[in-house]
Amino acid sequence: MALDHYVTLGRSGLRVSPLCLGTMTFGESRGWGAPVEECRTILDRFIDAGGNFIDTANGYQASQSEAIIGDHVGHDPAKRDRLVLATKFSNNLYLGDPNGGGSGRKAIIGQCEQSLRRLRTDYIDLYWLHNWDIHTPIDETMAALEDLTRSGKVRYIGVSDTPAWKIVEANMIARFRGWAPFIGLQIEYSLLERSVEAELVPMAREMGLGITPWGPLKSGALSGKYTRRNDGQVQIDRGAMVPLNEQTYAVIDVLESIAEAHGSTVARIALAWLRMQSGVTSTIIGARRVSQLEDNIRSTQIVLSPEELAQLDALTKHPLPFPQNMMTMFPALHNGGTTINGVAGGTSMIIAPGEKPY
């Protein structure tokens, strides 16, 4: 697979590259991140390699991320139209303004207009609800997004960092009212963060949302930078939440072994594992340097064997909560001793031949 082997996002016709360029580090307005010239070089390299999916947000680097992207591609209509530009709303940039953020109609429309201006474009290809606003009814949010979609200012909508039950409510409202539904789901997902497999991942598959994981290297813990051998010797990046403990090092040990077998790197193996998970459409990668981007892009060339996937799965899979933890016993209750869709059922509830149910 390469970056120009495109995939459709969820239950839609939107074609995106298998890696999405995340731009949270674009700019240095918060005292960290990548300088403008490096950001431009990263954008060009990603696009030249076939990548077309770029993700930002109104709150990234106090909106400098959007401005850098807009300044670089907004002046070239042909380049802009070939890209899938995605940005997010919800985060409030204005101290003292209660309607400057959140997911109410006033906030959404205002944030959209501001993002369009910074991105130097007439439309947003994919507009994400960044995080759930508990104070706004979800039907108000969906109605405002429908108006933006019908106006042409937004082409598709997606949802990030929101409970599965609320996403289902939103999409069912959209379905029954003939509104645009969420087609994508952004969630933290990696070998070190698999709790989403209990509710969010199966929900996305059932509802037709393409999963675009963020944090695939868990704040750099799976980048290859940290190992058991250099424990305590490498400075952790500012603001990174790197869980360096025995469990993490056990995963890194296995990743190093698999990487050696492939002549590759720990980061590429971790990204390849995530790309091969069910429901994942396009993985969001972030880079402050072109060298990081180059390394991440090469992960698309790696295909892990069933044995390697099983090894990583056994090491990192979360125990499922109730009621998912009971699902393995359900075939015995449902199947009457038969096999359905390849799943064999036991006979714990079977009535003996000649015996009649009460």
Residue 38 lies in a domain: yes
| Count of domains for the chain | 2
Q: What is the mean pLDDT of residues 17-34?
A: 94
Q: Which residues on adjacent β-strands are paired with residue 340?
A: 343
Q: Is the pLDDT of residue 238 over 70?
A: no
pLDDT of 211 strictly over 60:
yes
The answer on 358 and 313 residing in a single domain is: no
Position 1 in a domain: no
In a domain, 338, yes or no: yes
Query: Do residues 121 and 75 touch, judged by C-beta distance below 8 A?
Result: no
pLDDT tier at 81, thresholds 50, 70, 90: very high
235 inside domain: yes
Catalytic center residues: 60
Q: Which residues pair with 251 in a beta bridge?
A: none
Residues 281 and 332 in one domain: no
Structure tokens that stand for 148 in this block: 């933006």
- Do 273 and 340 fall into the same domain? no
pLDDT at residue 131 is higher than 90: yes
Residues 238 and 338 in one domain: no
Average pLDDT rounded to a whole number, residues 315-328: 90
- The answer to whether residues 336 and 200 belong to one domain is no
> Does residue 247 share a domain with residue 208?
yes
Are 152 and 183 contained in the same domain? Answer: yes
Task: Give the domain CATH number at 192.
Answer: 3.20.20.100
pLDDT at 239 > cutoff 60: no
What is the model's pLDDT at position 228?
86
Judged against a pLDDT cut of 80, whether residue 234 lies above it is answered with: no
Say whether both 136 and 285 belong to one domain: yes
Per the CB < 8 A criterion, the answer to whether 187 and 162 are in contact is no
Q: For 117, how many CA atoms within 13 A lie in the half-sphere containing its CB?
A: 7
Indicate if 278 and 137 belong to the same structural domain.
Answer: yes
Residue 50 lies in a domain: yes
Given a contact cutoff of 8 angstroms between Cβ atoms, the answer to whether 89 and 116 are in contact is no
Same domain, 187 and 70: yes
**What pLDDT is attached to residue 344?**
87
pLDDT surpassing 80 at residue 219 = yes
Residues 6+ apart with CB under 8 A from 33: 24, 25, 26, 27, 61, 288
Q: Check residue 168 and give its pLDDT.
A: 98
The answer to the question of residue 2 being in a domain is no
Question: Residue 339 falls within a domain, yes or no?
Answer: yes
Written as six digits, the tokens of 93 are: 């940039």
Q: What are phi and psi of 206, to 5 degrees?
A: -70, -40
Residues 280 and 330 in one domain: no
Q: Please write the tens of the pLDDT for every residue from 246-265.
A: 999 999 999 999 999 999 99
pLDDT band at residue 240 under the 50/70/90 scheme:
low
Residue pair 51/5 in contact (Cβ under 8 Å)? The answer is no
**Does 86 map to a domain?**
yes
Question: CA-CA distance, 101 to 265, in Å (whole number)?
Answer: 40
Q: Both 345 and 294 in a single domain?
A: no
**What's the mean per-residue pLDDT of the chain?**
93
pLDDT at residue 125 greater than cutoff 90 = yes
Give the whole-angstrom CA distance, residue 261 versus residue 29. 41
Range of the domain at 333: 322-358
